[in-house]
A and B are shown apart, each in its own frame.
Chain A
Amino acid sequence: MTATAERPQTTIFRRPRSTTGLWSWLTTVDHKRIGILYGYAAFTFFILGGIEALLLRIQLTQANSEFLTAGAYNALFTMHGTTMIFLFVMPVSSAFMNYLLPLLIGARDVAFPRLNALSWWIFFFGGIFLYSTFFFGTSLPPVGADGISGNLAAGGGPGSFNFLASSPDGGWFSYQPNAGPLYSPGTAMDYWALGLQMLGLASLVSAINFIVTVFNMRALGMRLLRMPVFAWMTTVVAFLLLFSLPIIAVALFMVAFDRQFGTVFFAATGGGDPILWQHLFWLFGHPEVYILVLPAMGIVSEVLPVFSRKPLFGYSAVVFAGAAIGFLGFGVWAHHMFASGITPVAQAAFGLATMIIAIPTGIKIFNWMGTMWGGRLKLNTPLLFAMGFVGMFTIGGLSGVTHSVVPSDWQQTDTYYIVAHFHYVLFGGAVFGLFAGLYYWFPKLTGRLMNDRWGKVHFWLMFIGFNLTFAPMHWLGLQGMVRRTWKYAPETGLEPWNVAVTVGAFTIALSIAVFMVNWWTSRRRGPKSGIDPWDARTVEWMTPSPTPEHNFTEPPVVTRLDHFWHLKYDEDEEGRPVRRPDADQLLERLEYEGYNPKSPIHLPNPSYFPLTTAMGLPLIFYGIIYHTSSWGKALIVLGALVMLASLIGWGMEPVEEPHVSHDQDDDDGDSADFEQAEADHV
């Protein structure tokens, strides 16, 4: 150990050593800390996206309302969608995947810890960059506009609330050429395109990391088909990200170039093809929706067996169905384009493919139901949210199947029926699943339990509020309420149900407030959970809670699926679980050994180069937006230099300096070995 400690030539390359305080968070490469950072950031954006939604709902409560200007309305629905998809659901899923993946496969960290930190910092700067549009973005009327309606008018049109109208307002899907340089001049949509570019890069890097981790870093005996379902869903999501993000990257470059450098990809007057944008966007956009929901499906597949006290029904089928959904997800994108003028053959092919994708989805739903059937259900909060997922996602899936019938879809397109569908699958589905996971894995994070009574209050408020908000949108849509339109006339008769929808939306907000208070107080004063509060089945519960920095003292040697469960339980003649007499001893031993490893455990060293590398990107992108000025050009050069210097530093910093888990008994956080090394050096 001491012989290999090498002092580098300059202190720039000294690996940081602190384990507490802000600097330790800025230089962390620990997957658990990175997961926590993603989680809190994502939740902050959830609140912001929620506020955007509430403002939209206030506007739509009354017919002919002019609470918001049309310009502000367009900006708010654009940012609501963009925020919820890219800044909430994706990063919060990332939080789970980062924290849990190594634990679920019995590893100490991911394959590339510094790259993992880089993903987080790129996401962090990307989110800030995107939201800085609220301060710096401009949204101007198109040249030659007569100022009649919507954001064509310089002031956003009539209405009292015009604040935020100069933010991106071309929809989260940014259809071209409407969101291009001619019809959406100003810088707002550039912030959108370049911000998304940054966020996509963060996820792509993460995807590569997770794939290598899953394939290469499983504990002994952890065959792929013994991995927990959440680890499998993480893998499928990583492949979806890997293959879909490059497509949107090209599309966003094309938009940015159209807006900034005068290319003619989508400008119809110059011969550009708007349909090309739709193909490229939805080639990414459809796999994206499976990226959004598969992690939550994975969570539900973990929670249901534990709280039904039965194994997951048909583990292999659930895994293969998840993989099938991922694969088929690349074959259905043009079902978002049925009303865009694609040929009848294309419509038929994509309609058929969309129907087919309902099959593996249905398999998963039946298997979840089969898991609960005949189980001894523990109706705690995680189970309630998981059951909510199954119910609400099924409803959303059914409305999705109605979209696959092309003539039916023509009626539904651009109405609130579509809004109802995707909120049922994304909110009733993904968000409910994510909350199940938060309550379930809270002990691993904090060593405490959340208050279950208030958890149930949260659930019921959210369940009622959610259904009150989105169920009426089905019939509002079929009655003709149009999407993305800032107001509707009183003669349409749409107002009464819109009032109900708004009441539901504020009920959701109340439920979130309940959750936040519960989270905050439980972190400090919740009852201690111990190592295995839920009598769980999978190996992440074989380490103490909160998780020690080094994860496992000894990585488990896995012998079968649900390895941990089978260490605790045998089966009697009828197949019923019988707790083994040494089970409690096992738990005590695991808890003790988890915090008291016999020899120092080496961990990946912290580093600040991921942070500095990521910092170069917003500089470059701000420079691109303002590249016509000399300081804009200077920013591009500066950003590139910062990145280049950081990457060189990254390559040159020593691979390993002594850094042991600080959960081991030590005064100042340094291992005894490191102090010896210090003493040995001249």
Chain B
Amino acid sequence: MSDLAHDAALSDHGEHESTGIENRKLGMWVFLSSEFLFFGALITNYLLYSNRGGFEGVYPSEIYDIPFTSVSSFVLLMSSLTMVLAHNAQSRHDQNGARTWLFATASLGAVFLGGQVFEFTEFIVIYDMTLSTNPAASAFFVLTGFHGAHVAIGVIMLLSLWGMSRRRGGLSDRQGLNLELVGLYWHFVDIIWIVIFTVVYLLSTPPT
């Protein structure tokens, strides 16, 4: 518990923040705004190639498993619920509750990732669509691959918070802010998937 007290006594050198928003929180929102440009480029790339006709090999839009992807999208969406419940518990200093919901979020994220791995494996092994098959396939794998990498990093951060909380008997206020920030990141990764699910999967049309 002494570590918690130590952390609580200090807060970023106690400096006043001209906007009234904590430095780290402002920093996370600034970072997330830049990620629109990142995923936007990948989505644009996918839209460019996804139904351009004339490529050899199978197109991603021909082999989507909508029911499967709907379920994994639902899983990721629900992980946003568990994430916000974790933050809520932490802000009430319910350390046990926070840990439970953190672990739940990480688990749902892992399930989502498992689904992605399954989908990729199916595409590669059964349908013979790899990174190199054609531009549409390249675009699909790189877009969803980078999204998946973001989810994986999120899971690592969630488990780190969970582990730290277990080790020290709970998170301090300072670490509680970090939990909120990981939450912001996690929700962002979720909303990117909301866009991808609609634009890439549900709006997919066969190539012209």
Q: Do chains A and B touch in the complex (CB under 8 A)?
A: yes
- CB-CB < 8 A to A144: which residues of B? none
A204, A216, A651: the one contacting B21 at CB < 8 Å is A216
- In the bound complex, residues from chain A placing their C-beta under 8 Å from that of B135 are 264-265, 270-273
Instruction: Considering the complex, give the chain B residue whose CB is closest to the CB of A8.
Output: B3
Q: Does B94 contact A (CB under 8 A)?
A: no
Chain B's closest residue to A280 (CB) is: B41
The A interface, classified by DSSP as helix, strand, loop or mixed, is helix
A1-45 interface (Cβ within 8 A of B): 4, 6
With contacts A4-B10, A602-B13 taken as known, whether A111 is within 8 angstroms of B38 at the C-beta atoms is no
Q: How big is the B interface, by class?
A: 35 or more
The answer to whether A271 touches B18, judged by C-beta atoms less than 8 angstroms apart, is: no
Contact of A112 with B34 at beta-carbon distance under 8 Å, contacts A253-B142, A262-B132, A264-B134 already known: no
Residue of B18, B24, B142 contacting most chain A CB atoms (<10 Å): B18
B38 lies within 8 A of A246 (CB): yes
Instruction: Check A218 for interface membership: any CB of B closer than 8 A.
Output: yes
- In this assembly, does B194 line the interface, its C-beta being within 8 Å of a C-beta of chain A? no
Per-residue B-contact encoding for A244-287, CB less than 8 Å = 1, 0 else? 11110111011001000111110000111100100010000000
B138 touches A111 (CB 8 A): no
What is the chain B residue whose CB lies nearest that of A261? B131
Any A CB within 8 A of the CB of B30:
yes
Would you call A251 and B41 a contact (CB within 8 A)? yes
Pairwise interchain contact A244-B37, C-beta atoms closer than 8 A: yes
Partner of B27, one of A208, A222, A280, A644: A208
Q: Which residue of A lies closest to B133 (CB)?
A: A264
Whether A263 and B132, one on each chain, are in contact in the complex, defined by CB atoms closer than 8 angstroms, is: yes
> Is B42 within 8 A of A212, CB to CB?
no
Q: Does A237 contact B (CB under 8 A)?
A: no
Given the complex, which residues of A lie within 8 Å of B160, measured CB to CB?
Answer: 648, 651
A215 is an interface residue with CB less than 8 A from chain B = yes
**Chain B interface, >50% SS class:** helix
Can you name the residue of chain A whose Cβ is closest to the Cβ of B28? A208
Contacts of B3 in A (CB 8 A): 6
In the complex, what distance in Å separates the CA atom of A359 from the CA atom of B147? 40
Q: How many Å lie between the Cα of A204 and that of B138 in the bound state?
A: 26
B6–A250 CB distance below 8 A: no
CB nearest to B38 among chain A residues: A246
Interface residues of A in 502-555 (CB under 8 A from B): none
Instruction: Determine if B17 and A263 form an interchain contact, defined as CB atoms under 8 angstroms apart.
Output: no
Q: Select from chain A the residue with minimum beta-carbon distance to B2.
A: A6
Chain B, 101-145, contact with A by CB distance < 8 Å: what is the 0/1 string? Answer: 000000000000000000000000000001111110111011000
Known: A4-B9, A212-B26, A264-B134. A247 touches B2 (CB 8 A): no
B74 CB within 8 Å of chain A: no
> A604 and B13: CB pair below 8 A?
yes
Q: Is B198 an interface residue (CB 8 A)?
A: no
A-side contacts of B19, CB under 8 Å:
215-216
A257-B142 in contact given A6-B6, A216-B18 (Cβ < 8 Å)? yes
Q: Which residues of A contact B130 (CB under 8 A)?
A: 262
Q: Chain B residues near A111 (CB, 8 Å)?
A: 23, 27
User: Which residues of A have CB within 8 Å of B21?
Assistant: 216
Binds A, one of B48-56, B76-84, B85-93: B48-56
Question: B23 touches which one: A112, A251, A280, A648 (CB < 8 A)?
Answer: A112
Q: Is A218 within 8 A of B18, CB to CB?
A: yes
Looking at the assembled complex, report how far the CB atom of A217 sits from the nearest CB atom of chain B, in whole angstroms: 7
* Interface residue A211 (Cβ < 8 Å from any Cβ of B): yes
> Is B35 among interface residues, defined by CB-CB distance under 8 A?
yes
Chain B residues in 8 Å Cβ range of A264: 132-135, 137-138
The yes or no answer to A454 lying at the interface (CB within 8 A) is no
Nearest residue (CB) in B for A654 is B6
Nearest to A263 among chain B residues (CB) is B138
Set of chain A residues within 8 Å of B35, measured between Cβ atoms: 246
Select the residue from A216, A247, A253, A272 with max chain B CB neighbours within 10 A. A216
Contact check, B132 vs A250: say whether CB atoms are below 8 A apart.
Answer: no
Q: Which residues of A contact B (CB under 8 A)?
A: 4, 6, 108, 111-112, 204, 208-209, 211-212, 215-218, 220, 222, 242-247, 249-251, 253-254, 257, 261-265, 270-273, 276, 280, 602, 604, 644, 648, 651, 654-656
Apart from A217-B23, A242-B30, 4 more pairs, CB < 8 Å = A263-B131, A271-B134, A272-B135, A280-B41
21 A-B Cβ contacts within 8 A? Answer: A6-B3, A111-B23, A112-B24, A211-B26, A211-B27, A215-B18, A217-B23, A218-B18, A243-B34, A245-B34, A263-B132, A263-B141, A264-B138, A265-B139, A271-B55, A272-B135, A273-B49, A604-B13, A654-B6, A655-B7, A655-B174
Q: Which residues from chain B sit less than 8 Å from chain A, CB to CB?
A: 2-3, 6-7, 9-10, 13, 15-19, 21, 23-24, 26-27, 30-31, 33-35, 37-38, 41-42, 45, 48-49, 52, 54-55, 130-135, 137-139, 141-142, 146, 156, 160, 174
